[in-house]
């Protein structure tokens, strides 16, 4: 089983719908991240959390919210999806000692029509 699991892997939805992407990890890491990947733009950080009571905005947090339900679970919500949120979303984790060594999930491809 994967260390970082994302669900769903693929989702097609309509403008205005609420969408939740879920991430769970078995690595025992405190730090969890949500990234968005678009062609030509690389990976951009949406939100990150260093423990259950800690939530921080990344560089592109507008239109998104997150919830850290437990050390192992970090979910990303789009309250009212819009077409320019069509992208590949990645969850990642790391330990405190190796901050640049991120462990990524396999991604959630979201299409907003």
Site residues, other proteins (CB under 8 A): 4, 40-45, 48, 50, 56, 58-59, 90, 92, 98-107
Which lies closer to other proteins via its Cβ, residue 39 or residue 84?
39
Residue 83 Cβ vs other proteins, minimum distance, rounded to whole Å: 22
Which lies closer to other proteins via its Cβ, residue 66 or residue 92?
92
Other CB atoms within a 10 A radius of the CB of residue 6 amount to 21
Q: What is the DSSP letter of 84?
A: G
Which lies closer to other proteins via its Cβ, residue 75 or residue 93?
93
Residue 59 Cβ vs other proteins, minimum distance, rounded to whole Å: 8
Residue 15 Cβ vs other proteins, minimum distance, rounded to whole Å: 26
Go through 55-84 and write b for each residue having 16 or more CB atoms within 10 A of its CB, e for each that does not. beebeebeebebebeeebebbbebeebeee
What is the token pair recorded at 77?
């919500």
Which lies closer to other proteins via its Cβ, residue 62 or residue 101?
101
Pairing of strands 10-13, 108-112: parallel
Residue 40 Cβ vs other proteins, minimum distance, rounded to whole Å: 6
Residue 46: in which H helix or E strand, if any? strand 42-51
């Amino acid at each position: 089983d994967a260390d970082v699991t994302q669900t769903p892997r693929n989702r097609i939805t309509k403008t205005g719908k609420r969408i939740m992407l879920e991430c769970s990890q078995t690595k025992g890491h405190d730090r969890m991240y949500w990234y968005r990947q678009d062609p030509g733009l690389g990976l951009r950080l949406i939100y990150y959390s260093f423990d259950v009571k800690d939530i921080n905005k990344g560089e592109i947090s507008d239109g998104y919210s997150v919830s850290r339900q437990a050390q192992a679970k970090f979910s990303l919500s789009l309250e009212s999806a819009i077409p320019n949120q069509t992208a590949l979303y990645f969850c990642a984790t790391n330990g405190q000692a190796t901050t640049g060594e991120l462990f990524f999930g396999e991604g959630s491809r979201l299409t907003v029509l």
